[in-house]
Homo-oligomer: A and B are copies of this chain.
Amino acid sequence: MVHIVVTGGAGFVGTRLARDLLASGTLAVAGGDPRPLSRLTLIDQVPVAADLSADPRVRTVRGDLAALLAPGPGVLAGADAIFHLAAAVSAECEADFDLGIRANLHGTEALLAACRALGTRPVVVFASSVAVFGGSAEHPLPPVISDRTAPNPQSSYGTQKAIGEHLLADYTRKGFLRGRAMRLMTVTVRPGRPNGAASGFVSGIVREPLAGQRATCPVPPDTEVAVASPAKAVAALLHAVSAPEHTWGDRTAVTMPALTVSVAEMAGALERVAGPEVSALIDWVPDPAITAMMRGWPARVRADRAGRLGLTPDRDFDSIIRMHLAES
C-alpha cells in the first residue's frame, strides 16, 4: 500500500499527476515493487478538481503549506512519496516579492523540515524549473544548456527554485529524505485561464485561438522557447519518483528534455492543425519586459542525464496541439 502526497494538488500539473496516479492505481517508489495506491493526499490553498475529491482514495487538505506544517508534520504522516509542486509562479513573484519568499522559500523549507521530522526518509520529488538558468555579464547563457550549466537565476522564482534544489540535495545527503529535483520546462498547452507566469502566452497563443478568441503574443516571432507537453512533464515527475537510487544517481537536479520551437513555428503548427483562420487570431504585440524575461531563459537543452533516465522530448509542436485538442 502506497500513500502519496502532492503539494499544489489543485494546480494544473498537480491535477494531471493526481489523475494519472489514480488511473494507474499502483506505484513503484524508488525502484521498489509496484504497490497499490491506498491514499493520495492533495494539499492546496484552493479546492481540487471534483473528480479527484470524489475518489475514495483521495484526501484533500486546504491551506498554506508553511502554516499547515507549523504544528508538525502530521499532514504528511505515512507518506511514502511527496511531490512538491506548490509554488507561486514567475510573474506573481516578480510582482509580489514577499509572496515568493513565503510560498516558494518558506513553504519549501517547511516541507523539507516536516519530511525530516517524519523520520521515514520519504522520497521527495521537487518540481524545479528551467528558470534556475539565466545569463548575466560574467556568466552568459550558453547556446545550449546541459547538465553541467551553472544555475544563474534572473528572477525571484528561479532564485527560489535554485535554493530549493540546494536544500533538497543537503537534506538528501544528510539522509533525512530521498530528494529528486526535476527541472520542468515551460509546459504547454495549459488548459483553463492564464496564470501569473511570464511564459503564460506559450499556452495562450494556442489555447485562446482554438477557442475562437484572440490572444496576444508578447515576444517577437523568432523567439525560441523550450517546451514540454503536460504528458511529458508528468512523465518526468513519475520517472523521478520511481527511479531506483543508483539509476537516479547524483543529488543534483535533473533537467528534463525539451522541444525547442520559435513562437513563429508554434503559430505555423497551429495553422497546420487548425487552419489559418485560427492562427490569424494571434496578435503580435511584443512586451519588452516579457521578452527580456523569456530571452533570459534557455531555449535549447541537452538533457543527457534525463535521457539516461528514459525521458524524451515531445516530437513536434503539431503533436502537442493535437494532444491538447484530444483532451479538451
Contact = CB atoms under 8 A, between A and B. Distances in A.
Contact of A159 (B109, B148, B151, B167): B167
A174 B97 contact: yes
A316 to B, nearest CB: 29
A151 to B, nearest CB: 7
A254 to B, nearest CB: 9
A149 B149 CA distance: 9
Contacts of A250: 136-139
B147 A148 contact: no
A170 interface: yes
A249 interface: yes
A214 interface: no
A252 B166 contact: no
Contacts of A9: none
The A contact surface, by secondary structure, is: loop
Given A152-B252, A252-B136, A252-B138, A170 B159 contact: yes
A163 interface: yes
Interface string A145-171: 001111111101001001100110110
A151 B154 contact: no
B249 A137 contact: yes
A19 interface: no
Interface residues of A, number: 33
A305 to B, nearest CB: 6
A305 B163 CA distance: 24
A156 to B, nearest CB: 5
Contact of A166 (B153, B173, B174): B153
Contact of A136 (B136, B166, B167, B251): B251
Interface in A244-295: 249-252
Contacts of A167: 159, 163
A147 B137 CA distance: 12
Contact of A252 (B105, B139, B170, B174): B139
Nearest to A156: B170
A166 B170 contact: no
Contacts of A173: 154
A138 B305 contact: yes
Nearest to A98: B113
A174 B98 CA distance: 12
A154 B169 CA distance: 9
Contacts of A150: 148-151
Nearest to A138: B250
User: Shortest 7 CB-CB distances between A and B: which pairs?
Assistant: A150-B150, A138-B250, A159-B170, A163-B163, A136-B250, A137-B250, A159-B166
Given A136-B251, A159-B170, 5 more contacts: A136-B252, A139-B250, A152-B252, A154-B173, A166-B166
18 contacts: A97-B174, A101-B113, A136-B250, A136-B251, A137-B250, A138-B147, A138-B250, A139-B147, A139-B252, A150-B150, A153-B166, A153-B169, A159-B166, A159-B169, A159-B170, A162-B166, A163-B163, A163-B167
